[in-house]
Structure 1
Amino acid sequence: MDAQSVTGCAAQGRSHWRQLLLVAACVLATSSCAPPEPVRIGFLGGLSGRVADLGIGGRNGAILAVEQRNQRGGINGRPIELIAEDDQQDPEVAKQAVARLIARPVEVIIGPMTSAMAIAVVPQINATTIPLIAPTVTTNALTGIDDQFFRVVAPTARHVFKSADLHYRRLGMRRVVLVCDLRNKAYTASWAGDFRRAFVALGGTVSDEIGFADDDALSVLATRALASRPDGVVIIANSVDTGLLVQQIRLRNRQVRLATAEWAATERLIELGGQAVEGLVVAQYVDRQNRNPAYLAFRKAYRERFAHEPGFAGLTAFDATNVALDALASRQKHQTLKQALLAHGEFVGAQSPIRFDANGDTERDTFLSRIHDGEFQSLP
């Protein structure tokens, strides 16, 4: 090989290496400029059907929390992606939705919004390391268990006595009938059982307890509720059926006192119930007259974003999502997210602080109100 050939080969070699270095530099530059992988969290709730107001309010609260956190830079520079699934208030649909979220995969699931759906999916969640943080699940059946289930409201056993005390001592009820929606029996059975024990202990009587499901006519149900001539009827059901049932009861009796549990306490209750729900006593997980600056800022932001009141569903889901995001941000390398949730201590809520016990349960007060002039007015 002559000198010219050797020189040409050397030049080609140098050119080849320069090309390789250029490609490597481009790859490094591209990878360094690529957006970081998002932190994915799931939401599970009933987003369709006649009683979707609870799930939609919860989803919106979660969206707001995620959007606000992303505006502040996400979690350690990573954006947060919310993946919402509709459980359609059907246990099998809920399980399929959870399976899809697990497969994405998500770090945590916010939801579900009803106790019946929680009972259905908690065993599935317990087979993973993904926590489930429920905004509005209060069934006693999930209390005091070391599992992946967390909640930002208290189980019914810790607050229903407050409703019983109000109805007996202040409103003078002595004989009541309980009407329960069996489609969410995990919730209604807990609430009714705790109310009955507290009301009877005060000296009152539960003269009847009536369950209903999809195919029960509310007109027939109203007649049954009044058959024992109670001085009060307490309805433990969703906002839609509560509003419609109150209308049927008022057509038959204008004097009987009426009350409902926290589940019904959305704006949909007033929209559907109209004039008939005036005077209805409503328990709820949000203090609508709260003047805490954090709550006022949340309410303002929610109304601007979604053009309706957040209610208790929006508030508790906003809190649950922020709890999850705070735990994700503070989690150490050696910790599971469950461990981070338990180790964090006190979380900041929009109205009140949130602290989990060793089993993921917490304390949250219930607030009593009466509907007056189409609005929820706090009872002093």
Structure 2
Amino acid sequence: MNTPPSPSGAEHQGGPSVRLGALVPLSRPGWTEAGRHLLAGLDLAVREVNDSGGIDGRPLELVVRDTAADPERAAGAVDELADLGVAALVGEYHSVVARAAASRADALGVPFLCSSGVLDALTEEPTEWIARLAPAQSHSWRIYGDFLLGADRRRIAVATQPSVYWASGSRVLRDHLAPRGGSVVELDANALTPEALCDALVDQGATALLLLVGQPEPAVPIVRAVRADRRLTDILIGAPAGQPEFAEWAAALGEDGAGIPFLRYLPERLGPLGERVGKALRERLGEAGEAPSFVAFEGWDTITVLADVMRSHGTDRAAIAESWPRVTVEGTRGPVRFSRAPGISVWQWAWPPVQVVDRDPAEPDRFRVLHTG
């Protein structure tokens, strides 16, 4: 499905619009709830930019394409959006999809500000065209490893599925934990039933199980099986990729979904800007007052950074790409500046705030901050 361009307040402005191509997972097998939050943040910021005069009097316009978590579809969308004349690309939640989009954008010479993809190697070679707001996986997952060590969880099992993203996460954890007395064993979630996985956890003497798998399948059945197994009452279930952040998780699992630590890219306290944007995002995300996830804030920050870049340096693609090292923009989660981080192939915000958070077992709609990095 291709989503038609979003006017995002453009009808209130004069002159030709400045188009931005937005890559968002809006259909399965994409993580659609994350996509909805990301698009809410992008769209809110576009409307605020247009309400304040646009880009030198020209309105911003989002041209949205649904990636459906498909790298080939994303690469094709980049081609299409480039032909439509977008000034830059924004968005994408799934890291493997973001990598495909970044590689194609680099090849075509289209600047791409990646909102949420975290793979360290977002492109094979260093590039001037791509910048990223989300932290690199090696940075945030090492923080998660420190949390596990601090909780005295050293025998780690990971339920995993074939994916560059999951394999990279397993490697980061193993490399970080091994020198500190920890170990990581991988369990194939495609080959093992949830019950057989529970047996393997007992056999391995695991003290923590990390869910490096898709949501809701097979993550939800695995959690239910582990919670129901009396042999595993003391095991910590973790989900570093952030599955418990979203309301869909709580709706599917209820109390069983609480007490499962995950990574979240928010400060412990939002400042006035973050509070204002958070309130607006909450209103935008539904009548129930659904809390905005960190992904929604990433979307808002993405557009705000790009708007500042285009107001200062123009809408020419090369000018946008050349501006990354000169960015200094106040975002919802702190001042955004891009630099070259060791081992990272793109311009990187080093670093966004990182938390390890869970849903409070006593009040599953409330989040507890367990560790910060």
| Range of TM-score over shorter length | 0.7 to 0.9
User: In the aligned structure 1, how far is the partner of 2:197 from the partner of 2:137?
Assistant: 25
**Corresponding residue for 2:224?**
247
What's the counterpart of residue 193 of structure 1?
171
Checking the alignment, whether the CA contact within 8 Å between 1:243 and 1:270 is kept in structure 2 is no
Question: How big is each residue's C-alpha offset from its partner over 1:36-62, in whole Å with a ceiling of 9 and x where there is no partner?
Answer: 000101110210125311111111110
- Which residue of 2 is the match for residue 361 of structure 1? 348
Unaligned runs of 5+ residues in structure 1 are 1-33
The amino acid across from 2:152 in the alignment is: G
Q: Structure 1 190/147 Cα, relative in aligned 2: closer, same or farther at 3 Å?
A: farther
Does the CA contact (< 8 Å) of 1:279 and 1:370 recur in 2? yes
Aligned 1:132-151 pairs, distance under 5 A: 132-142=112-122, 145-151=126-132
Aligned residue for 1:259? 238
Which of 164, 168, 180 is residue 202 of structure 1 equivalent to?
180
* Distance in 1 of aligned mates of 2:195 and 2:321: 47
Residue 341 of structure 1 deviates from its aligned partner by 2.5
In the alignment, what sits opposite 1:119?
99
Q: Answer 1 or 2: which has greater strand percent.
A: 2
User: Aligned residue pairs: how many?
Assistant: 340
Please say if 1:76 is aligned against 2:56.
Answer: yes
2:330 aligned counterpart, secondary structure: coil
Alignment of 1:84-123 (within 5 A): 84-123=64-103
Letter paired with 2:121: A
Cα 1:117/1:133, change in 2 over 3 Å:
same
The answer for the alignment partner of 1:177 in structure 2 is: 157
The sequence identity of aligned pairs, in percent, is 22
User: So what's the TM-score if we normalise by structure 2?
Assistant: 0.84
The structure 1 segments of at least 4 consecutive aligned residues displaced by more than 3 Å after TM superposition are 215-227, 241-244, 332-335
| Alignment correspondent of 1:3 | none
| 1:152, distance to aligned residue in structure 2 (A) | 0.2
Residue number in structure 1 paired with 2:139: 158
Q: Which deviates more from structure 2 when the two are superposed, residues 195-204 or residues 141-150? A: 141-150
Q: 1:302 to 1:205 in 2, by over 3 A?
A: same
Q: Given residue 158 of structure 2, which amino acid in structure 1 is its aligned partner?
A: L
Deviation at 1:226, TM superposition (A): 4.5
Alpha-carbon contact 2:314-2:320 (below 8 Å) kept: no
Task: Pick closer, same or farther for the CA change 1:296–1:224 going to 2, 3 Å.
Answer: same
Question: Higher helix fraction: Structure 1 or Structure 2?
Answer: 1
Q: Which residue identity is paired with 1:368?
A: V
Identify the residue that residue 343 of structure 2 maps to in structure 1. none
- Amino acid in the other structure paired with 2:174: R
Given that 1:130 and 1:148 are in contact with CA atoms closer than 8 Å, whether structure 2 keeps it comes out as yes
Give structure 2 stretches of 5+ with no counterpart: 1-12, 341-345
- State yes or no: 1:371 paired with 2:352: no
Cα deviation for residue 267 of structure 1 reads: 2.9
How has the CA–CA distance of structure 1 residues 238 and 134 changed in structure 2, closer, same or farther, with 3 Å as cutoff?
farther
SS of the residue corresponding to residue 334 of structure 2 reads: coil
The letter of the residue matching 1:294 is L
- Distance in 1 between residues matched to 2:194 and 2:97, nearest whole Å: 24
From 193, 214, 234, the counterpart of 2:210: 234
**CA deviation string 1:44-93 (max 9, x = no partner):** 02101253111111111100110111111111101111111101111222
Report how far residue 187 of structure 1 moved.
Answer: 2.3
1:254-283 deviations in whole A, cap 9, x for unaligned?
321111113323332222221112221222
> Does the residue aligned with 2:227 lie in a helix, a strand or coil?
helix
- Deviation string 1:108-147 (CA, Å, 9 cap, x unpaired) is 1112211110222222211223111111111122277224
* Match of residue 61 from structure 1: 41
Distance 1:94 1:227, change over 3 A: farther
Which residue is 1:293 aligned to? 272
What whole-Å deviation, never above 9, does each CA across 1:138-169 have from its counterpart, x for those lacking one? 11222772242211022122232221122112
Partner Cα separation in structure 2 for residue 301 and residue 247 of structure 1? 35
Distance 1:58 1:332, change over 3 A: closer
Alignment of 1:272-283 (within 5 A): 272-283=252-263
When the two chains are superposed, the root-mean-square deviation of aligned CA atoms in Å is 2.3
Give the alignment's TM-score, normalised by structure 1.
Answer: 0.83
Which amino acid in structure 1 is aligned with residue 367 of structure 2? F
Shift in Å at residue 222 of structure 1?
4.6
Residue aligning to 2:6: none
Amino acid in structure 1 at the alignment position of 2:56: N
